[in-house]
Structure 1
Amino acid sequence: MINSNLLAVVESAVTDTALGNWQKPLVMFVCNILALLVLSRRIWYPHVGPKMPLPFPALFNNVSVPAFLACMSAGHLLGTIAILTLGVDNYF
């Protein structure tokens, strides 16, 4: 038989981590947009390959699909580091 105290601890831990908030996606979104704005100008060959259909091509340097994926990968890394180091739950 399973101890009811153990179930209470597991249930509270699951519900606390399963509940999301709006700050983490906002930080991730901002980091991705900043990475796209900055890194699209710093990549050596941003126009090699098929073009990415972005809404404002001049703003985002009219990047190709591989450059866009590289910027999004870097943005996710920056966003993850920002969320983990800032402790977004504590500051907002």
Structure 2
Amino acid sequence: MNLTGGIVLYAVLWFLTMFVLLPIGLVSQEEAGEIVPGTHAGAPHKTNFLKKSIWATVISAVLWAGCAYLILGGVFTREDVMGWDQFIR
């Protein structure tokens, strides 16, 4: 894995983790009892985006380290991955 591949892998893991974390603990404006005029009642009251982005950074860093170990440590090689399509056929 080169530098570009590592950065792309981290970005993909970060966004995947962020999209998983976004709906966790979400409270709608209707549930909070404070509906802003002109918005839908199901719109989020507070998103806690900073807290969730910090968690996404930490979790994706751990996932990236595991993936980097598997790739750079030689647990499986490119030739192994190229043969995985034989399981489908």
TM-score scaled by structure 1?
0.47
TM-score scaled by structure 2?
0.48
Query: Which protein has the bigger strand share?
Result: 2
